């Protein structure tokens, strides 16, 4: 093995591989480079050099850097969504336990697939409609909202607001995971416990008709309670 000018390991001589093996090798190399340098900072030349092949080989398998990036992102999204889905489908599990398992599943992905999570939280290439961090949060939230709706009905809260709360809950866990990606000040279980502490105790004490205690008024005006938050806009 030798290293290129950027410090990435590459093969000195292209090993003889089957088409499938070569494709998997390029995906692994692309994943590492995209995590370290981002989409814009990675070139086809670097990908090819790290694999010990010529640029046309990369184009042959993926049509270019964009195609390789799309494959890498798709795999990471499926891995994370599968983990979240599995955590939310355990028979006989109560609502708080489901929140705990969802937090542990996402943080477990951050811990075990650090490169993959770095790729997902980076901005996606210009013009790419899918694969962004925001779209990923929405995909996960869509799997959570029906569970929240059931719990809302049980607590006599408005189930129509469950999709909004699902976005809040998943976004909170995901953004905490983004912070934990580099800080690692606490272990996974501790981070999950604190996230669930805020999320669950907040859910447990929710008002049926939430309202703001203060609202902006003219300079110097005393604070006053707002009107109750209206139902979903149509």
Cross-strand partners of 187: none
What are the pLDDT digits (tens) for 52-105?
A: 999 999 999 999 999 999 999 999 989 998 898 888 877 767 888 888 998 999
How many Å apart are CA 114 and CA 44, to the nearest integer?
Answer: 23
pLDDT given for residue 20 in this prediction? 93
Q: What is the pLDDT of residue 13?
A: 43
pLDDT tens for each residue of 159-218: 999 999 999 988 999 999 999 998 888 999 999 999 999 988 887 787 888 878 775 555
Rounded-to-integer distance, Cα 5 and Cα 33, Å: 13
Q: Reduce the DSSP state of residue 209 to 3 states and report it.
A: coil
Cβ contacts of 28 within 8 Å, gap of 6 or more: none
Q: Which residue has the tokens 């979903």?
A: 232
Kindly report, residue by residue over 3-37, the tens digit of the pLDDT. 554 555 554 444 588 999 999 999 999 999 999 99
pTM of this structure: 0.75
224 burial (CB, 10 Å; 0-12 / 13-18 / 19+) is exposed
Long-range contacts of 13-21 (CB under 8 A, 24+ apart): 13/52, 14/51, 14/52, 14/53, 15/52, 19/61
Find out whether 126 and 69 touch, Cβ atoms under 8 Å.
Answer: no
Distance CA 95, CA 98 (A): 5
């Amino acid at each position: 093995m030798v290293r290129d000018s950027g410090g990435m390991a590459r093969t000195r001589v292209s090993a003889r591989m089957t088409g499938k093996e070569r494709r998997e090798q390029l995906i692994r190399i692309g994943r590492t480079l995209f995590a370290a340098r981002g989409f814009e900072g990675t070139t086809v030349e670097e990908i090819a050099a790290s694999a010990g092949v010529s640029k046309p080989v990369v184009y042959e398998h993926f049509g270019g850097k964009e195609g390789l990036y799309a494959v890498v992102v798709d795999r990471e999204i499926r891995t994370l969504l599968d983990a979240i889905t599995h955590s939310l489908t355990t028979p006989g599990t109560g609502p708080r336990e489901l929140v705990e398992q969802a937090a542990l599943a996402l943080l477990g992905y951050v811990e075990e697939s650090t490169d993959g999570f770095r790729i997902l939280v980076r901005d996606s290439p210009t013009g790419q409609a899918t694969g962004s961090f925001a779209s990923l949060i929405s995909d996960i939230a869509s799997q959570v909202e029906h569970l929240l709706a059931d719990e809302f009905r049980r607590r006599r809260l408005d189930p129509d607001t469950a999709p909004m709360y699902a976005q809040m809950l998943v976004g909170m866990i995901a953004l905490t995971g983004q912070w934990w990606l580099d800080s690692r000040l606490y272990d996974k279980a501790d981070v999950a416990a604190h996230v669930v502490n805020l999320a669950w105790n907040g859910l447990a004490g929710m008002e049926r008709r939430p309202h703001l205690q203060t609202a902006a008024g003219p300079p110097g005006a005393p604070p006053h309670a707002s009107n109750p938050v209206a139902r979903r806009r149509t």
